[in-house]
């Protein structure tokens, strides 16, 4: 079984990433994650069932609507949506899920995460991609250090 950092290296080593919860009305954590992947030359897709456009890009109502191979999904939407997102990923053969979080619960639904792991998916339960995709900004370097120190993000 892969350790936390190995899962992260595998996830960010992919090129086709979907981000759920990207807002069309106000900057949210999902928006920052979407822009970071985009600026790092990933093929990134915004998921928002209520918007046609977000961050000057096409938004998709769900992952299926993308119509492209997706390597991983960052769940940055409310925890209540996690189970249905995981079900959709399983139906599409997507094996990598990252639940966004930082100092709070974020998007993590423990039951959905356990279900995904039982189905053989690689699940990252904590942390933020902005702490790992280079260049890492100073606030996320500090956040990563604090979360490692407090044990909220495993060091391995």
3-state helix/strand/coil string of the chain = CCCHHHHHHHHHCCCEEEEECCCCCCCCHHHHHHHHHHHCCCEEEEECCCCCEECCEEEECCCHHHCCCCCEEEECCCHHHHHHHHHHHHHHCCCEEEECCCCCCCCCCHHHHHHHHHCCCEEECCCCHHHCCCCCCHHHHHHHHHHHHHCCCCCC
pLDDT single digits (tens) 13-62: 999 999 999 999 988 899 999 999 999 999 999 999 999 999 999 999 99
Q: What confidence score (pLDDT) does residue 102 get?
A: 66
**Whole-prediction pTM value?**
0.94
pLDDT single digits (tens) 95-142: 999 999 866 668 999 999 999 999 999 999 988 999 999 999 999 999
* Domains in the chain: boundaries: 4-150
In the CATH scheme, what is the code of domain 4-150? 3.40.50.720
């Amino acid at each position: 079984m892969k350790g936390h950092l190995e899962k992260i290296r595998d996830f960010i080593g992919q090129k086709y990433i979907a981000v759920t919860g990207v807002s069309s009305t106000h900057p949210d954590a999902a928006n920052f994650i979407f822009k970071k992947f985009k600026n790092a030359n990933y093929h990134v897709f915004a998921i928002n069932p209520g918007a046609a456009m977000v961050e000057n890009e096409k938004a998709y109502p769900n992952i299926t609507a993308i119509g492209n191979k997706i390597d991983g999904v960052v769940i940055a939407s409310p925890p209540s949506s996690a189970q249905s997102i995981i079900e959709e990923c399983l139906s599409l053969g997507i094996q990598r899920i990252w639940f966004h979080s930082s100092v709070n619960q974020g998007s993590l639904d423990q039951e959905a995460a356990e279900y995904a792991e039982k189905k053989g998916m690689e699940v990252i339960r904590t942390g933020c991609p902005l702490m790992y995709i280079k260049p890492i900004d100073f606030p996320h370097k500090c956040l990563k250090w604090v979360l490692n120190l407090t044990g909220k993000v495993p060091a391995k």
